[in-house]
Structure 1
Amino acid sequence: MRRFAWLLLFWFCDPIISPAWGNITASEPQGIVDILHNHGYDASLTHVADGDPMIRFHFLEKSIQILFYGCNRGHNCQSLQLSTGYDLPNGISFDRINLWMRGHRWAKVYLDTDMDPYLQYDIPTVPDGIADKLFLVMISSFGSSVEDFSRFINFKHN
């Protein structure tokens, strides 16, 4: 939550204290890694089995993946998805997930076949990308959702 407050401060004080801002697009994965590095995240670029890019970083000790969608053989990707999963000993019920979802607008949750929840947040970046600072606000918003959801399900980070 504190990181979100700082990002809002940077947003409103942009002309005074921030460097020049640009746009990020899903077609430029290294640019996304660079922005994350520049804002204190230890991010790494890798690829999934089909060759599409994937970025990994941590938020409050929770591993987060940025998945790339609408790619053409690993290039010219169209959108991003922030994602993190929770391996729970007994899973979680649909009713419990629905209870959380009713109070949260931006992030979504689905359950895998073991009833383990995955928290996700979609970010379209076409045709011209999105502002760096908006991307960082979305990262922070997702981080707040991770924090809220982890608390809601009583998840203890390793």
Structure 2
Amino acid sequence: MLDKAKTRLLGVALVLASPLLAGEASAERISGKEALAVMRAMDLQPQLGTDAVGDPQIQFVIDGLHAQLNFYDCKKQDGRCGSLQLETAVDLENGTTYRVANAFNKQYRYVRMHLDDEMDPYVQYDFEVLHTDARTHLESQIEMFGKLLASFTEAVGYY
């Protein structure tokens, strides 16, 4: 058992550490408004809305393509989310093939090409913002997504 002095010291340590832990916890997630500010600074023409379950969703334009940022693992009390997904699609006259999608997916680990019912391709790029500076990490992931889009559009013949 802890004696009273040790218990008090432990209590003081926890009280002193709690603001630091709270600050760290908030830095590990991002809200729709915070993400919107990052994307405005990147000149992506973002528009903030919500998805079907009430989580934030941002529509934007990157490299001439319409895209969206989807939010997951959101905390209802503060609207901050820990997992994000960048997504875009292209409408091809004749669609593409499973072979093209499989070749693309074999080459890349974190982005996935899918085909809709008309065989038009779309990509989804998932990432977390936990244990990082969420704003800086979001900016770097959007930049990476832009690079991946160049490979995606080349793979499907969309120019």
Residues 107-144 of structure 1 show CA distances to partners (whole Å, capped at 9, x for unaligned) of 21112222221111112124x55443222111111111
Number of equivalent positions: 133
What residue in structure 2 maps to residue 47 of structure 1? 50
Larger radius of gyration: 2
Are 2:90 and 1:94 aligned? no
Residues 30-50 of structure 1 show CA distances to partners (whole Å, capped at 9, x for unaligned) of 001101112322211011233
Higher relative contact order (Cα pairs below 8 Å, separated by 6+ residues): 1
What residue in structure 2 maps to residue 118 of structure 1? 122
Q: TM-score, normalised by structure 2?
A: 0.72
What residue ranges of structure 1 are gaps of 5+ in the alignment? 1-21
Q: CA, structure 1 residues 24+147, in 2 after alignment: closer, same or farther (shift >3 Å)?
A: farther
Instruction: Verify the 8 A CA contact 2:74 2:81 in the aligned structure 1.
Output: yes
Equivalent-residue separation in structure 2 for 1:105 and 1:30 (angstroms) = 29
Equivalent-residue separation in structure 2 for 1:72 and 1:114 (angstroms) = 36
Deviates more, 1:41-50 or 1:128-137: 128-137
**Counterpart mapping for 1:8-157 below 5 A:** 23=27, 25-26=29-30, 28-71=31-74, 75-126=79-130, 128=131, 130-156=133-159
What residue ranges of structure 2 are gaps of 5+ in the alignment? 1-25
Instruction: Verify the 8 A CA contact 1:24 1:31 in the aligned structure 2.
Output: no
Q: TM-score, normalised by structure 1?
A: 0.72
Instruction: Verify the 8 A CA contact 2:32 2:80 in the aligned structure 1.
Output: no
Residues 55-92 of structure 1 show CA distances to partners (whole Å, capped at 9, x for unaligned) of 01111110110011234669443311000012222222
Equivalent-residue separation in structure 1 for 2:75 and 2:118 (angstroms) = 31
Equivalent-residue separation in structure 1 for 2:28 and 2:82 (angstroms) = 11
Instruction: Verify the 8 A CA contact 2:90 2:120 in the aligned structure 1.
Output: yes
Equivalent-residue separation in structure 1 for 2:140 and 2:129 (angstroms) = 14
Q: CA, structure 1 residues 71+146, in 2 after alignment: closer, same or farther (shift >3 Å)?
A: same
Equivalent-residue separation in structure 1 for 2:75 and 2:27 (angstroms) = 21
Instruction: Verify the 8 A CA contact 1:24 1:32 in the aligned structure 2.
Output: no
- Normalized per residue, which structure has more helix? 2
